[in-house]
Structure 1
Amino acid sequence: MEMEPVQMRLKAPRERVFAAWTEPDLLVRWWGPEARAEVDLRVGGRYRLSMRLGWGDLVCVGTYREIVPPERLVFTFAWEGDPAGEETVVSLFLREVDGGTELILRHEGFAAPGVAENHRDGWMDCVGRLAALAPAL
């Protein structure tokens, strides 16, 4: 099952938006509260992103499947410590538009619709923080 895609315009060049997804020092600026990022940016390389919430750390991990700077990034996505062990796939597309970049994020492979909706809410929050940061990229 696929979640409804997240689509947003960002006021930054797509090279900088791509960098915001792939460079740890930029990722931690928008990912979430007290974010940490480890990135091995190569096909087959792994990443680990975490944020600290009121109840503890929320950590996602995955492997890069496609890296086409500055237009596409595809990676697996799983919650560290998830007993269900569900691994899904995120595809990020960046397109140049007047005044910046159009971002389209697709996330698929969910077992249930409710889980897909919850992830979309989370992505909307994250991408919203990225959009707020974009002019400073």
Structure 2
Amino acid sequence: MMPDLDPDTDLSFTRTLAAPRRLIWECWTQPKHIPHFFIPAPHKVTAVDLDVRVGGRFNTVFEVEGALMDNKGVYLEVVPEHKLVFTDAYTEGWKPAPEPFMTAILLLADAPGGGTTYTAIARHRSPDSRKAHEAMGFMEGWGTVATQLERYAQGLAP
């Protein structure tokens, strides 16, 4: 079910990925897969620590132009093979983050031909943070991630 979107604070896109939903889910929920798609190349994911359950951690470290970026968050909702919601507003143990950026909502559904309807939503706490994320290249960056995810998942298919 698609959540109500607020154009002032939410960014989103939907794309059909040519990979089965179970593989897209696996990629998002198993740490070994995250480095292969989660940040647009040539940037890298250098560390991943996931505990895929409500309140569990979603922690990553990115390397962007030689600088390391530590990203800590928690899962807010986990509906196997259908929906993942995670945020950097809290860290594990429900500790508030000093400078939260967004909440990510990923929706997966079967698409015709065995693919996946993939919706990515970035929900921000203010119109200014939404505008900043858009200016950073949300559509291009998250679009690149979706393309990388699709290619990587296709390589996992038996």
Determine if the TM-score, normalized by the shorter chain, exceeds 0.5.
yes
CA distance in 1, matches of 2:100, 2:137: 13
Tell me whether 1:115 sits opposite 2:132 in the alignment: yes
Tell me whether 1:15 sits opposite 2:18 in the alignment: no
Q: Which runs of 5+ in 1 are unaligned?
A: none
Alignment of 1:1-137 (within 5 A): 1-3=9-11, 5-32=12-39, 33-35=43-45, 36-77=47-88, 85-99=99-113, 100-111=115-126, 112=128, 113-117=130-134, 118=136, 120=138, 121-137=140-156
Q: Which has the larger radius of gyration?
A: 2
| Alignment correspondent of 2:3 | none
Measured after TM superposition, the shift of residue 51 of structure 1 is: 2.1
Name the CA shift for 1:125/1:106 in 2 (closer, same or farther; >3 Å): same
Q: What letter matches 1:104 in structure 2?
A: T
Name the CA shift for 1:45/1:104 in 2 (closer, same or farther; >3 Å): same
Name the CA shift for 1:6/1:41 in 2 (closer, same or farther; >3 Å): same
Task: Output the TM-score relative to the length of structure 1.
Answer: 0.84
Per-residue CA distance 1:28-69 (angstroms, 9 max, x = gap): 111234412110111100111122121412332211011101
Name the CA shift for 1:119/1:62 in 2 (closer, same or farther; >3 Å): farther
- Residue identity over aligned pairs, in percent, reads 26
Q: Secondary structure at the match of 1:123?
A: helix
Is the 8 Å Cα contact of residues 58 and 86 (structure 2) preserved in structure 1? no
Q: How many residues align?
A: 133
Is the 8 Å Cα contact of residues 77 and 85 (structure 2) preserved in structure 1? yes
CA distance in 1, matches of 2:21, 2:29: 12
